Amino acid sequence: MIVYLDGRYVDSTEAKVSVFDHGLLYGDGVFEGIRIYNGNVYRLDDHLERLEQSCKAIMLDVPLSRAAMAQAVCETCRQNKLTSGYIRLVITRGVGDLGLAPWLCEKPTLFIIASKVSLYPQEHYDNGLSIVTVPTRRIAPDALPPTIKSLNYLNNILAKIEARQAGALEAIMLNAQGYVAECTADNVFIIQKGEILTPAASAGALKGITRATIFDIARELGLQIREADLTRHDIWCADECFLTGTGAEVIPVVKLDSRVIGNGKPGPITARVLASFRQRVLTEGTRI
């Protein structure tokens, strides 16, 4: 595998960062997870815009222009002969000392990995996921804004561990007020009486690129969609539920906390959304 690292394309065995890199020492950095489908990097410009905004929010310099970053992403895919898979783009604060001070890091570290991905087995797309609510709460937006896609993922990792301990592949995380924020790695949507509902960023949800696509798809299909405060009760009693994410794409949920959602099978609106999504990923983006 070939990895882009600070302007060079190197073998993965040579792709190394310093133990003094603040991305490793303190989680000081940001990232994007991007998909490529049949040579089409899906919504690359949207991902790069979010990356730039995350960097701006934490006062981290972006080492490349957007055009140069896009070229580096596409070239990394070409170097690996990857036409379908997953791209991880990471910018860290860079090498510094053992203190917190980011201004002592002279320049950011940038690397890009392009490889295969398989988040959930196909059977769960066909039959739906059974998920749980975990005790770990989502970090409050006034502590760490969810709009910053940072390397600080320990909160999500703790929740993922709890999900696994409960025998589930994914889990709902609540915010401090008890409302649904998101899952450990996915945004959550429900359907009630034909209307699609999802938590807002102010509730702790990441402004996902796939999440934004669902809003476009809903308008295209003539479906009502809006952000709303959701409780576990809303999910238990929903007609349908599905999760979205770069890795997960669109995946139905048929059970939460042992309560069957709807009729216990992936619903018709979820199926329509998924079909539209699979068409869009082949055309919306940047050809390598």
State the catalytic residues: 149
Q: Are 31 and 91 in contact (CB under 8 A)?
A: yes
* Contact residues for 257 (Cβ-Cβ < 8 A; gap 6+): 132, 133, 232, 236
Alpha-carbon distance of 264 to 255, in angstroms, equals 7
Residue from 143, 128, 164 nearest 263 by CA: 128
Q: Which residues contact 161 (CB under 8 A, 6 or more apart)?
A: none
C-alpha span between 151 and 28 (Å, rounded): 6
Report how many helices (DSSP H) and strands (DSSP E) the chain contains, helices first: 8, 16
